Each structure stands twice: as structure tokens, then as C-alpha cells.
């Protein structure tokens, strides 16, 4: 179990992580979600004792990272796949890690086999593709057969096959009863990978709940209706507690499902040209939630307007 | 012991330490061959002359020791190191020990190698190590490179960037200490206490015979040779302590 208690990190005037408290339970994959710059990596570095918190603490099974005797056997982490000396072989890289935590060196071959890098074990890590580096990083995280695993943006830059591989891998690790925390800035990815979500923005906790609840609550289900008798339909719907919104020549109804609207229209002999359920996208929901907390807003719309002005 | 094994694996599993060791040996033994081979007569070749290439070898050893730390920062493996060994002091002490030992052994081999090649090229020269001063000049090299490596590791931890740390170390040890002498009035007094100048005193100081050897390794320190070594060792330990405290407080 991982526990963050009032975790705060300040760099000069910027507050990277602000009084963050949450727990990560074993046996499932927990997604650590937030836009770029929300403080995900900083939080993970503090969990590993690499950065010192300004205040608060992060505990691994009730202990500070620095109190762990053989930390790699307790908690494995992949924060950045490029944290390898480019002229050192994958094997040598894992060997020194194994020796440092009294892990039998035979385990190095095991994890290399597990991630499918046996053939390139003696090659210099600097020549690895991103996907291979990512696999080497995962091999390093699994080296001590730890109960707790941290992965920072593990699917970034991977091809679909690599993404699928990692996703399945995370599930397997959680099914084995381990505690798995995976960060990402993509809700769509997390909806497939994580059963539980910890959502942060600008270093603050926005929500912690199950992925299903989160998506259900965050995405609004609506029905799009087009009818030549729009005004009659509008009057009918106004009698219910449904909310209405105009969208060009269509009505967007929320609070009623397509079947209810269809039956109501039939009972009152209203002709319908379209009746289609609309599902809000995860990205929209995520934007809505974290919209105020995005660290680096793009001035895209304004820039486009300016460009149009110039061209006139 | 575990941590020493870890640092040994790390040091020898990349290529640059091997290149540096080869270069240090080649430079020092090569200069000894050049100087003794081109001497007019065997009488011109003495024990100090065989050690002509010492300052070049020292420079390369400083680079080797600095790289052992700065490449870890450059490629962020220092974070993996601190992840595996959360006690930063233990991890860095182990690294310092391994690098200093390698540098010490390397310095010793280079010094005796230089003496040996001179003996081969000038069989008639009197190169036997007859006095304590002769022994210090040759066998002492390893002690100086040992503590010099400690200084270099400390500077590497403090500066973290290869280019910065290497230029500071080389510019300081090869140039800056000598330039201090140009300061009017107090220059010489300050120079007398600068660490690399004092370290040379240990190697070349000869209080028995009062011979002033001119060339690489000449020193203006007035300490006794062993006091000079203690002073240099003390300096390296102070630097190391500053580095350890800094590394502990800083974010990795």
C-alpha cells in the first residue's frame, strides 16, 4: 500500500505539489491522472525518496522509502526509461542493481526473459529503441519481485503493440495482488488500464474513486432528436424533468433515454427524423474536470484569430 | 562490501574508465621512455627525471574520477543508484572508495612502470631506490593519486556536469595554483598552502639533501613530506564531507 499524507513540494515560488493525500490499495491498478505539469512525476519522485518533500510524507506500507532495507525488493519503479548509461549493457545495468539489493544474479536473466530482451542483453543500452528501453525499465522495476510498483507514463511514445503489452502486464501484476500505480495524462488510456483513479491538477487532488464511477459521473449521456414538429416536441419534453439544448436544427435532450423519447413522440404522433444517443467523450470529461488546472494553456484560439486578421 | 561490488561493476561496465587508465599509463610511461631515451648520458637520468610524466597522468586520473560521478548525473543513473541504495552517504562513500583505490593502484603502476622503462633504456643510470626520498617519489605517487581522486569525486558530486567539473579541476590543479604566485606580496604565501602544490612537496621534497628539483612536481611548500601528505589527505576529506552533505540535502 502506498500512502501520501499532505505531500507538498515547492520549487521557489511554484507549488508543484500542494497538500496531496491519497492511498493506493493492493490488488488493482490505480491510475494517477493529471494534465502535463500537474505534479505526477514530482509526487512519484518523493515517494521514492529522490526529492525531499517541503512538507508531508509518502509511506510505503507504513515506512519511509529511506527506511527500507532492500528497497528494490519492496518497491519497483520505472520513472524514465532513459535513465540508463548508454554504453552499459542491459545485463550489466540490471546486474549492479541486483547486487546492490542482494538479489540473486540469476534473477537478471529471468526478468530479461520476462520482458523479451534476452537476445540483446549484452548490447549497449544506448542503442535501444524507446520500446526496448521501456522494457528494460520494466525489467529493472520487476528485478526484486516487489509488492509495490510505480510506473510514470509507461506507454508514452510506444506503438500499439507495446501499449497493449504494457496494459496486459499491469493487469497481471495487479491480479497477483501487487500494488500498482500508473501515471498518465490520457483518461482514455487509463479507462482501459486502471480500476481506480487518483486525479490531480496543479498539484492538488481533484478526485479519487473507481474508474467506472468517475467516467459515469464525468460523462453526460444525451440524446439528439430531430423533428419537423420541433416546437410540439419541445412542449412535450418541457413537461418532463429533461433538460433541453438547441444544436442547429436538432434538440439535445439530457435526463431521458432514447426509448423514453421515442415512445413519448409516438404516443403524441410526432414525426422524428433522428433519434440518436450521444455519449460524451472521456477527453471532454477530463478537460471539464481539469480545465482550470492545466499548467500551460495554449493560446491556440487567439493565435488563429490573429492569423485570420493578418490575412485579411 | 556489497556496495563496493556495485560500484566496481558500474565503473568497469562502461568504456571510459578503461580508456582513461590506458591513457594515464601510456602518458606517464611514454614520457619516461622519451626523456630517458633521449638523454645525452646515463648520468642525466635520475629517479625524479623518470617521473616526468606524472602531472599528465594525474590530469587523466582526475578526469577518470570526475567522470565516474558526472556520467551518473548526466544519464540520471544517480537516481537509480539512490533508489537502490537510499542512504546517499553510503552509496557515495562506496563510489569514492572504489574510484580512489583504482586511481591509487593506477598511479603506483604508472610510477613504477616509468622507472622500469627508464632502467631498460638506460641500464647504466643510477636508478636504484636508495633513499626514503627516492621511494616517496615513486611509490608515493599512488598515495597522491588516491587522494586526488577523492577530491575529483567530491567536485563531481558538487558540480554534477562533466564539462564544468573537469575544467574546474584541470584548470585549478594545472594552472590556477601557479597563477596565485603572481599576486603581489601575499601570492607566494598563499601558494605555499594550496593543496596540489603541497601534494607535490610529498613527492619531491627532500629535506635530507636539500636538492631543489625543477620541473613537474617542484613545490614551494615548507612542510615536511609526510605532513604535506596529511595536509593533502585532510583537504580531500573536507571536500568529500562537503559533497556528502550537499548530496544528502539536494533533490537527486
With contact defined as beta carbons under 8 Å apart, do A184 and A155 qualify?
A: yes
Question: CB-CB: which of A48, A50, A84 is closest to B77?
Answer: A84
Mean pLDDT of B6-12: 96
pLDDT of residue B206: 64
Distance from CA of A121 to the nearest CA of B (A): 13
Q: Show which of residues 130-149 on chain A sit within 8 Å of chain B, judged by CB atoms.
A: 140
CA B99 – CA B141 distance, rounded (Å): 16
With contact defined as beta carbons under 8 Å apart, do A296 and A36 qualify?
A: yes
pLDDT of residue B216: 57
- The closest of B54, B51, B50, B65 to B20, measured between CA atoms, is B65
Return the number of CB contacts < 8 Å for A and B: 76
Residue A96 has pLDDT above 60, yes or no: yes
Question: CB-CB: which of A72, A86, A92 is closest to B84?
Answer: A72
pLDDT of residue B207: 52
Confidence of residue B84 (pLDDT cuts 50, 70, 90): very high
User: What are the residue ranges of CATH 3.40.50.300 in chain A?
Assistant: 2-217
> How far lies A149's CA from each of A127, A144, A308, in Å?
26, 11, 49
User: What are the residue ranges of CATH 3.30.70.980 in chain A?
Assistant: 220-279
ipTM score of the complex?
A: 0.88
Q: What is the mean pLDDT of chain B?
A: 91
- The closest of B30, B147, B56, B59 to B99, measured between CA atoms, is B147
Contacts of residue A86 in chain B, CB cutoff 8 Å?
A: 75
Contacts of residue B6 in chain A, CB cutoff 8 Å?
A: 96, 99-100
b/e per residue A119-138 (b: at least 16 CB within 10 A): ebbeebbeebeebbbbbbbb
- What are the residues whose beta carbons fall under 8 Å from the beta carbon of A166, sequence distance 6 or more? A134, A138, A154, A155, A158
Burial of A29 (0-12, 13-18, 19+ CB in 10 A): buried
Residue B212 has pLDDT above 50, yes or no: no
Tell me the fold of A220-279. Answer: Alpha-Beta Plaits (3.30.70)
- Could you give the angle at which helices B54-74 and B88-121 cross, rounded to 10 degrees? 150
Give the homologous superfamily in CATH for domain A2-217.
P-loop containing nucleotide triphosphate hydrolases (3.40.50.300)
R_g of chain B, CA atoms, integer Å: 19
pLDDT tens-digit profile of A34-92?
A: 888 889 999 999 999 999 999 999 999 999 999 999 999 999 999 999 999 999 999 99
Question: Is the Cβ pair A86, B85 closer than 8 Å?
Answer: no
Amino acid at each position: 500500500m502506498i500512502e501520501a499524507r499532505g505531500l507538498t513540494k515547492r520549487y521557489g515560488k511554484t507549488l508543484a505539489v500542494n497538500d496531496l493525500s491519497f492511498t493506493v490499495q493492493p490488488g488493482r491498478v490505480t491510475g494517477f491522472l493529471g494534465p502535463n505539469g500537474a505534479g505526477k512525476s514530482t509526487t512519484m519522485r518523493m515517494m521514492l525518496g529522490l526529492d525531499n518533500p517541503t512538507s508531508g510524507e509518502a509511506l510505503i506500507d507504513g515506512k519511509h522509502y529511506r527506511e527500507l532495507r532492500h528497497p528494490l525488493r519492496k518497491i519497483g519503479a520505472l520513472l524514465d526509461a532513459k535513465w540508463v548509461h548508454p554504453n552499459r549493457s542491459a545485463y550489466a545495468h540490471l546486474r549492479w542493481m541486483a547486487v546492490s539489493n542482494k538479489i540473486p544474479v540469476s534473477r537478471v536473466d529471468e526478468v530479461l526473459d520476462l520482458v523479451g530482451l534476452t537476445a540483446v542483453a549484452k548490447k549497449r543500452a544506448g542503442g535501444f529503441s524507446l520500446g526496448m528501453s521501456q522494457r528494460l525499465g520494466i525489467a529493472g522495476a520487476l528485478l526484486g519481485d516487489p509488492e509495490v510498483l510505480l510506473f510514470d507514463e509507461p506507454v508514452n511514445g510506444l506503438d500499439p503493440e507495446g501499449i497493449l503489452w504494457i496494459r496486459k502486464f499491469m493487469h497481471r501484476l495487479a491480479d497477483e495482488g501487487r500494488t500498482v500505480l500508473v501515471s498518465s495524462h490520457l483518461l482514455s488510456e487509463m479507462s482501459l488500464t486502471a480500476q481506480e483513479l487518483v486525479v490531480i491538477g496543479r498539484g492538488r487532488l481533484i478526485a479519487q474513486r473507481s474508474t467506472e464511477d468517475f467516467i459515469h459521473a464525468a460523462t453526460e449521456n444525451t440524446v439528439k432528436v430531430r423533428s419537423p414538429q420541433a416546437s410540439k416536441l419541445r412542449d412535450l419534453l418541457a413537461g418532463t424533468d429533461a433538460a433541453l439544448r438547441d444544436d442547429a436544427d436538432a434538440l439535445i435532450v439530457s435526463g431521458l433515454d432514447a426509448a423514453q423519447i421515442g415512445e413519448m413522440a409516438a404516443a403524441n404522433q410526432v414525426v422524428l427524423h433522428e433519434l440518436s444517443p450521444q455519449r460524451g467523450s472521456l477527453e471532454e470529461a477530463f478537460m471539464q474536470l481539469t480545465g482550470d488546472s492545466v499548467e500551460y494553456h495554449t493560446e491556440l484560439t487567439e493565435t488563429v484569430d490573429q492569423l485570420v486578421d493578418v490575412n485579411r | 562490501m556489497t556496495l563496493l561490488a556495485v560500484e566496481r561493476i558500474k565503473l568497469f561496465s562502461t568504456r571510459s574508465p578503461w580508456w582513461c587508465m590506458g591513457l594515464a599509463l601510456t602518458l606517464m610511461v611514454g614520457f619516461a621512455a622519451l626523456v630517458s631515451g633521449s638523454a645525452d648520458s646515463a648520468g642525466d637520468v635520475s629517479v625524479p627525471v623518470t617521473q616526468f610524466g606524472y602531472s599528465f597522468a594525474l590530469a587523466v586520473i582526475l578526469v577518470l574520477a570526475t567522470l565516474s560521478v558526472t556520467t551518473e548525473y548526466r544519464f540520471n543513473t544517480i537516481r537509480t543508484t539512490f533508489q537502490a541504495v537510499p542512504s546517499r552517504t553510503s552509496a557515495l562513500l562506496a563510489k569514492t572508495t572504489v574510484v580512489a583505490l583504482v586511481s591509487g593502484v593506477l598511479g603506483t603502476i604508472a610510477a613504477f612502470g616509468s622507472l622500469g622503462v627508464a632502467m631498460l633504456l638506460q641500464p647504466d643510470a643510477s636508478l636504484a631506490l636508495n633513499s626514503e626520498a627516492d621511494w616517496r617519489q615513486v611509490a608515493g605517487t599512488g598515495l597522491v593519486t588516491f587522494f586526488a581522486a577523492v577530491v575529483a569525486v567530491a567536485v563531481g558530486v558538487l558540480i554534477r556536469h562533466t564539462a564544468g567539473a573537469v575544467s574546474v579541476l584541470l584548470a585549478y590543479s594545472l594552472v590556477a595554483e601557479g597563477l596565485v604566485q603572481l599576486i603581489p606580496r601575499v601570492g607566494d604565501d598563499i601558494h605555499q598552502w594550496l593543496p596540489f602544490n603541497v601534494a607535490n612537496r610529498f613527492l619531491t621534497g627532500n629535506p635530507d639533501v636539500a636538492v631543489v628539483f625543477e620541473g613537474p612536481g617542484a613545490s614551494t611548500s615548507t612542510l615536511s613530506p609526510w605532513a604535506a601528505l596529511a595536509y593533502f589527505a585532510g583537504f580531500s576529506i573536507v571536500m568529500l564531507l562537503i559533497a556528502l552533505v550537499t548530496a544528502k540535502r539536494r533533490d537527486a
